[in-house]
A = this chain, B = another copy of it.
């Protein structure tokens, strides 16, 4: 996507230096645009765990490149053990993220097909680039399939403004390019549909306020920031036509784990008869699970993400305390939206209902 006229992906190999991977430091956005270098497995662990990068697809792509860097660093004599250690370290960073484990395992498989450490390193490099390219291509296809839904609403409204609500950031910053939830939105905007986005700020880390607002602004898509509490009121008053969110892990039965608070928006959409779609590349499916609420592990993070808020003060980026110093907090990162609340899934292969049978029609190889 474009930032002030330049094309960027969220992760890439540093020019002239295949041992260095570069990413946009998303913890500094929207106040500062900075690129950071990742050169060791520990750099990758920290980038994912401490959320310099985040988002379903980008976590996967970063894990893919992390495994490549592990392969570069692994001593020939002890190659497999080193790789397994790196894989375990990477997988531990974000327990809910399906793309993480998926990418790590895909890289291990790619290396297992080769015999020598040198060949394994090459396979890991090719694998990492393939994961990133595929993520980008799949997100582009999500846009092509999802725009049909937006076009139909626009037609029904006589080309009046289509209001889409989204939660968190499932934009191009969350993937390698295009985004999942935002991909149909960008495409609709580019094709001249009158579209407006309600951006949930998405506490505790405010990825909606800091990342989705920034992305949409850079692309010129009209939007307004709202607090996470506001969506229900907007829906009650006919101010939302469609909800599209991303997902961090989706069961084979269509239950979707996504940023905490998604479930509340899905309930409100259901209560007000508003279509609620989850957009995801197939790398986000966890084919082994059938009950999201019971089975998807929910990451609990540092309570300081709740008690402190990061923003731009008079001179610098600061953390401010929003409660008494002695207050304790709990910080669950995700919730699960049961499939019964989801109108449909938008994938790279098309749109389907959020149930086992419909999902398997798109992915028959998973039967």
Contact = CB atoms under 8 A, between A and B. Distances in A.
Interface of A: 30-31, 201-204, 206, 209-210, 213-214, 217, 223-234, 236-237, 259-261, 263-265, 267-268, 271, 293, 298, 303, 306-314, 318-324, 326-332, 334-336
Which A-B residue pairs are the 8 nearest by beta carbons? A229-B261, A311-B320, A233-B335, A225-B329, A267-B267, A203-B227, A209-B323, A232-B263
B271 A227 contact: no
B267 A232 contact: yes
A179 B236 CA distance: 29
Given A204-B229, A313-B320, 20 more contacts: A201-B323, A202-B229, A203-B203, A203-B228, A206-B322, A210-B323, A214-B324, A217-B324, A225-B303, A227-B331, A230-B260, A233-B334, A234-B332, A236-B335, A264-B268, A267-B267, A310-B320, A312-B321, A313-B318, A313-B319
Given A225-B306, A308-B311, A328-B224, A323 B30 contact: yes
Given A204-B227, A225-B329, A267 B260 contact: no
B332 A213 contact: no
Contacts of A293: 236-237
Contacts of A210: 322-323
B327 A217 contact: yes
Contacts of A331: 226-227
A329 B271 CA distance: 25
A127 to B, nearest CB: 35
Nearest to A202: B229
Given A323-B213, A324-B30, A264 B229 contact: yes
Contacts of A202: 229
Contacts of A326: 217
A217 B323 CA distance: 11
A227 B314 contact: no
A226 B260 CA distance: 11
A209 B306 CA distance: 9
Contacts of A226: 306, 329-332
A327 B293 CA distance: 35
Contacts of A224: 328-330
A227 B261 contact: yes
Interface hub of A210, A233, A234 (most chain B Cβ within 10 A): A233
24 contacts: A202-B229, A204-B229, A206-B322, A210-B322, A213-B324, A225-B307, A226-B306, A226-B330, A228-B228, A228-B261, A229-B259, A230-B260, A230-B261, A231-B264, A232-B261, A236-B263, A237-B293, A263-B268, A264-B267, A267-B267, A312-B320, A312-B321, A313-B318, A320-B320
